[in-house]
Structure 1
Amino acid sequence: MRRAAFALLVALVLLLPLSAPSRADGPVVLTVTGAIEKTNRGPFEPFSDVLFATLQESFEKAYALTLDDLGALPQQTVEVGYPNWPGPVTVTGPTLASVLDLVGATGSQVLVQAVDGYAPAFKIDEVRAGTFVLATAQGDEPLALGGRGPVWLVFPAGSYAGQTAEDDSGLAWAVFHLKITAGE
């Protein structure tokens, strides 16, 4: 009986890495929900997911990412500036498209939600064709909460249909949630 229990325990330990994607250590800074194929956390829990509850967001499945997870993806450095800014900034982070690929996004639209509730939506086709970066650093410094971080969606002017060179709307700072939907 002990051998059977031990064999079962060994089998479970060996199969555990196959049952869920691994996640780096550290606090979760970005959660992806909606039309995704890969998950690594359970559904919405009102007490633990208080920001989601406050913003009236819930989900059945999700993929949670730490800064280490985002740093493990291929990094892109981009210089971005708009006329109403004091000057251009150089930021680094994974592309939004690489995060969509990581989670197996199957929808046609991504809602990028910031902690203040601001939530611009983009067509996934435009995201894949453009340079949408989930910046985690400006220069050599990590982006801080209270500034524009820890995750800031940035992209050059003209990255999506209808965006003008002066229009910096859609650049969401303090991003914590990506929601993949079928769109309109």
Structure 2
Amino acid sequence: MRYLRLTIAIAALLGWGVVGHASERLPEPTGPVLLTVTGAIEQTNAPGEARFDKAMLDDLGSASIETHTVLSEDMQRYEGVPLEAVLRRVSAKGKVMRAAAANAYEVDIPFDDLQYEPLIAMQANGRPLTLRDKGPLWVVYPRDAHKVLQDQRYDSRWIWQLIRLHVE
């Protein structure tokens, strides 16, 4: 019995419980929709779409990244939800996501990038991101943790004012 409790505790810490979360029905957002996911997804809460408000994103878990950016010489701390958690929650099946911003910027993010644990940031340096600060959602990468991420092709995937992911 003690071994079982320890195993369950370790599984919870490692996030194994999140996989089961994807099979639960996706609730309706009760606040303003911040992110819409479309395309090759199995979990929806609107015709062909999965819509997320802030509370729904918060429920997926949190993570943080401390890294330098091409926009600032100082170390920045970003907090938000792992991109992978959003994709798992909607049971996404694909090889690439087309990310779209409020300002009409679009970029493809390969599923292979998930190995670097990119984040959908909602805060920077302890402050909520606003439209004026590249928010409310901003895809960020742990640039300092992986030399390969210090390259223009990854910098272009730091899409701010994120509003939509289309899975292909």
Question: If the length of structure 1 is used for normalisation, what is the TM-score?
Answer: 0.70
User: How large is the RMSD of aligned CA atoms in angstroms?
Assistant: 2.3
Q: Distance in 1 between matches of 2:68 and 2:145?
A: 13
Q: Distance in 1 between matches of 2:61 and 2:98?
A: 22
Structure-2 change in CA distance of 1:75 and 1:176 (3 Å): same
Structure-2 change in CA distance of 1:158 and 1:63 (3 Å): same
Q: Segments of 4+ in structure 1 off by > 3 A? A: none
Q: Distance in 2 between matches of 1:32 and 1:175?
A: 11
Structure-2 change in CA distance of 1:101 and 1:89 (3 Å): same
Q: Distance in 1 between matches of 2:83 and 2:145?
A: 13
Percent of aligned pairs sharing the same letter: 27
Q: Distance in 2 between matches of 1:70 and 1:98?
A: 9
Task: Provide the secondary structure at the position in 2 that maps to 1:94.
Answer: strand
User: Deviation at 1:170?
Assistant: 1.4
Structure 2 residue identity aligned to 1:138: A
Structure-2 change in CA distance of 1:179 and 1:64 (3 Å): same
- What is the aligned partner in structure 1 of residue 86 from structure 2? 99
Give the number of equivalent residue pairs.
143
Q: Which has the larger radius of gyration?
A: 1
* 1:165 partnered with 2:153: no
Q: Distance in 1 between matches of 2:162 and 2:83?
A: 12
Task: Provide the secondary structure at the position in 2 that maps to 1:78.
Answer: strand
- What is the aligned partner in structure 2 of residue 81 from structure 1? 68
Q: Distance in 2 between matches of 1:118 and 1:150?
A: 15
* 1:29 partnered with 2:29: no
Show structure 2 runs of 5+ residues with no match.
Answer: 1-23
Q: Distance in 1 between matches of 2:78 and 2:85?
A: 16
For residue 70 of structure 1, the aligned residue among 52, 57, 60 is 57
- What is the aligned partner in structure 2 of residue 150 from structure 1? 136
* 1:118 partnered with 2:123: no
Q: Distance in 1 between matches of 2:149 and 2:139?
A: 17
Please, which moves more after superposition, 83-92 or 99-108? Answer: 83-92
Q: Distance in 2 between matches of 1:140 and 1:147?
A: 13
- What is the aligned partner in structure 1 of residue 124 from structure 2? 138
Higher fraction of helix:
2
Show structure 1 runs of 5+ residues with no match.
Answer: 1-18, 43-60
User: Deviation at 1:157?
Assistant: 2.7
Structure 2 residue identity aligned to 1:165: Q
Q: Distance in 2 between matches of 1:89 and 1:29?
A: 23
